[in-house]
Amino acid sequence: MKFNTQLIHGGISEDPTTGAVSTPIYRSSTFRQHVLGGGPKWEYARTGNPTRASLELLMAQLEEGVAGFAFASGSAAIHAVFSLYSSGDHFIVGKDVYGGTFRLINKVLKRFGLEFTVVDTQDLAVVEAAVQDNTVAIYFETPTNPLLEVSDIEAIAKIAKKHGLKTVIDNTFATPYNQRPLTLGADIVVHSATKYLGGHSDVVGGISVTNDEEIAEQLAFIQNSIGAVLGPDDSWLLMRGIKTLSARMRIHHENTAAVIELLEKDPRVARVLYPGLPDFPGHDIAAKQMDHFGAMVSFELQAGLSAKKFVESLQVIMLAESLGGIESLIEVPAVMTHGSIPREVRLQNGIKDELIRLSVGIEDEEDLVADLQQALDQLS
């Protein structure tokens, strides 16, 4: 099936018992076994649940992997992937990652003996130079959060394979609608499914997908052992959201073009960060590996202008953490999503106090443009 059809008919789209076109929500915590030691398909909901299994199969198909795994949050999905490894293992990590990932690495994983080197994954020479004898994987986002930086997935995956490493990519910003890293050589993809996959700001979840059978077996063991699984109701909500991913993304992209046009011509905006702009660093790579450029836009106000005043002046666009919902959401990374990163590290990585991240929703584009314009006018 083509991608848009797979969104609707992928996974287990028809209940085999009743023919229901909406996958049932199986809330049972356990399942009756008729034969002692008979190896039933379903036995305990942490280990496997029919509703969650349908979502996991759907995500494996959309990302073109062999197996998918649904977790209680994106952070849980990321933690599960790092749990594949042991004390003393070393990871190369992209410098511009979600603040929660930074916190997980520095406040939790390092305490268990995992080692990390942070590099600019846009520079292939720097990536390869960071490889050590104990390096096991390269972990990065593309486009990144919040600077929208783009790294060459295929080139980094080749470096990884050359040195016997795995490549792990957070594909939250792009979604499989825009980019499928496993087809470009990556080994594992992770998502905060809370964002575009769910799409309605009403569910928290995480996804990991792999195209490696051995990794899939290990992730299944870890998922069951740690137990941070996605519940059946939330699994159903995610599947419902995924059905409209393509339709939503088309409107997201149309609105993003209108928003960028406004921001680029306003003198109070110092710069606009978006992979779709021809002069954006990494644009050519994005054009090569992405089908579309997404609906996340970051921009900097001119030095000295108040990001606080700007975001608090908006009426339609809502000041809130998260992204990827049908409503437009705006935030200031230095205070909100990346506030857990020390200021000197944020500034070193290019996250200034004037930086604003906008998740463009699917409201009427004229309302979004007018809202941004009036908020910018408040700064004059």
pLDDT tens column, 103-131: 999 999 999 999 999 999 999 999 999 99
Residue from 195, 243, 248, 346 carrying the catalytic annotation? 195
pLDDT band for position 13 (50/70/90)? confident
98 among known catalytic residues: yes
Among 246, 250, 262, smallest CA distance to 317 is for 262
170 among known catalytic residues: yes
Instruction: Give the per-residue pLDDT at 347.
Output: 84
The mean pLDDT value for 223-229 works out to: 98
Q: Which pairs count as long-range contacts for 27-33, CB under 8 Å and 24+ apart, including other chains?
A: 27/232, 27/233
**Lowest model confidence (mean pLDDT) among 6-15, 177-186, 340-349:** 340-349
∠ CA 228-230-236, nearest 5°, is: 180
The mean pLDDT value for 69-80 works out to: 98
CA–CA gap between residue 223 and residue 172 (Å, rounded)? 20
Q: What is the pTM of this model?
A: 0.95
Instruction: Give the per-residue pLDDT at 207.
Output: 98
The whole-chain average pLDDT of the chain stands at 96
3-state helix, strand, coil in the chain (%, to 5): 40, 15, 45
Q: Residue 71: which residues within 8 A CB-CB, separation 6 or more?
A: 77, 80, 205, 206, 207, 208, 223, 228, 229, 230
Q: Is the per-residue pLDDT at 337 higher than 80?
A: no
Instruction: Give the per-residue pLDDT at 15.
Output: 84
Instruction: Give the per-residue pLDDT at 348.
Output: 85
Residue from 96, 152, 170, 187 carrying the catalytic annotation? 170
Pairing of strands 206-210, 67-71: antiparallel
Q: Is the per-residue pLDDT at 340 higher than 80?
A: no
CA–CA gap between residue 299 and residue 296 (Å, rounded)? 10
Helices 232-243/50-62 angle, 10° precision: 40
Q: Is the per-residue pLDDT at 272 higher than 80?
A: yes
pLDDT band for position 242 (50/70/90)? very high
Q: Is the per-residue pLDDT at 37 higher than 90?
A: no
Instruction: Give the per-residue pLDDT at 128.
Output: 98
Residue from 26, 85, 98, 274 carrying the catalytic annotation? 98
139 among known catalytic residues: no
Q: In angstroms, how far is the first alpha carbon of the chain from the final one?
A: 52
Phi, psi dihedral angles at 194 (to 5 degrees): -60, -25
Looking up tokens 């599947």 gives 239
Other CB atoms within 10 A of residue 164 CB = 9
Among 62, 69, 50, smallest CA distance to 3 is for 62
